[in-house]
């Protein structure tokens, strides 16, 4: 273990600290309040140093992030935490990117693959932002903002559902979402096909969503969905919502209900934003494989 820790220390010492992170550190230090006692002061300084060492290492070295999986962890204190944050503020260009990490699942292969995916997604998002920013700076300038974060939708004894969202703003704003729902006992990723006996769920869920869409539009004239009807007569039928995809975005909420999710502009005009539909279990109960996930 001593030899392994020395390798980690060497990897950390060779890491260049990005300017963005340096700004974050300086800002954080300026906000610190005067400690109540010398003992507390030393304790806070030590804690801050440890936290910064951890965050800097993960933020700036993919090798270091991957190697953390080999270090023993005492207990499963936290299931999901932020291991990487990128903040950029430059003229009309802004980026706020958060990367989640899952810990304590009991299956390191699944845990590591998910965490690596999250790291790669954030890195790709940042690189795309940088490329677009450089392009705009070389041209006539412009405005560009990216805001990426995550939310733990459900975390109970059986299910972990995580939402990752990205909002991109240039001439207009556009938000996309991704979801991972995990069976914590079986250590598997859940998909819609896994939850159902056959593909009849596609029609059942689609019919329920269309029912909810029509009901919402009848109750509120400001609500609009791209659904076949008098309000969409001039639209191309190919652009109207008919049915969900077999692997439609979804998550299971805290009440053990299936929630089907759509991104901006997918089934409604932009002012409606990203929309979700909670599916009553009695509408799909006959087609579910079991009730261990959805109740």
pLDDT of the residue at 146: 96
Q: What is the DSSP string of 125-152?
A: HHHHHHHHHHHHHHTT---EEEEEEEEE
**What confidence tens digit (pLDDT) does each residue in 29-69 have?**
343 343 444 434 444 444 444 444 444 554 544 444 444 44
DSSP 42: H
Q: Give 58 or 12, the one with higher predicted confidence.
A: 58
pLDDT of the residue at 99: 96
User: Would you state the torsion angle of the CA atoms of residues 250, 256, 257, 263, taken in this order, to the nearest 10 degrees?
Assistant: -30
pLDDT of the residue at 79: 77
Name the least confident of 21-25, 89-93, 148-152, 240-244. Answer: 21-25
**What confidence tens digit (pLDDT) does each residue in 138-181 have?**
888 889 999 999 999 999 989 999 999 999 998 888 899 999 99
CA distance 287 to 51: 48
**Which CATH fold topology does 192-287 show?**
Actin; Chain A, domain 4 (3.90.640)
Length of the chain: 295
CA distance 244 to 191: 14
Q: Give 17 or 131, the one with higher predicted confidence.
A: 131
Residue ranges covered by each domain of the chain = 1-72, 76-190, 192-287
CATH ID of 76-190, from 3.90.550.10, 1.10.1040.20, 3.30.565.40, 2.60.120.380: 3.30.565.40
Closest CA to 186 of 152, 160, 217, 215: 160
Closest CA to 292 of 183, 204, 188: 183
């Amino acid at each position: 273990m001593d030899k392994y820790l020395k390798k980690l220390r060497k990897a950390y010492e060779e890491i260049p600290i990005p300017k963005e992170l340096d700004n974050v550190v300086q800002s954080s230090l300026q906000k610190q309040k005067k400690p109540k006692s010398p003992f507390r002061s030393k304790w806070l300084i030590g804690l801050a140093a440890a936290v910064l060492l951890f965050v800097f290492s993960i933020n700036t070295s993919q090798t270091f992030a991957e190697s953390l999986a080999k270090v023993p962890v005492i207990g499963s204190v936290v299931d999901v935490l932020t291991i990487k944050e990128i903040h950029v503020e430059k003229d009309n260009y802004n980026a706020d990117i958060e990367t989640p990490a899952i810990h304590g699942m009991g299956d390191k292969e699944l845990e590591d693959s998910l965490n690596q995916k999250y790291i790669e997604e954030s890195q790709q998002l940042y690189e795309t932002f940088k490329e677009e920013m450089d392009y705009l700076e070389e041209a006539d300038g412009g405005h560009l903002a990216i805001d990426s974060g995550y939310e733990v939708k459900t975390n109970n004894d059986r299910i972990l559902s995580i939402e990752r969202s990205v909002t991109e703003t240039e001439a207009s704003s556009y938000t996309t979402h991704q979801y991972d729902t995990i069976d914590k006992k079986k250590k598997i990723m859940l998909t819609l096909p896994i939850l159902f006996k056959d593909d009849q769920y596609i029609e059942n869920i689609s019919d329920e969503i269309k029912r909810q869409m029509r009901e919402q539009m009848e109750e509120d004239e400001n609500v609009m969905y791209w659904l076949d009807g008098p309000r969409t007569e001039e639209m191309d039928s190919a652009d109207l919502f008919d049915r969900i995809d077999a692997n439609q975005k979804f998550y299971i909420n805290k009440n053990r209900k299936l929630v089907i999710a759509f991104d901006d502009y997918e089934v409604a005009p932009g002012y409606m934003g990203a929309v979700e539909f909670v599916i009553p279990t009695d509408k799909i109960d006959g087609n579910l494989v079991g009730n261990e996930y959805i109740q």
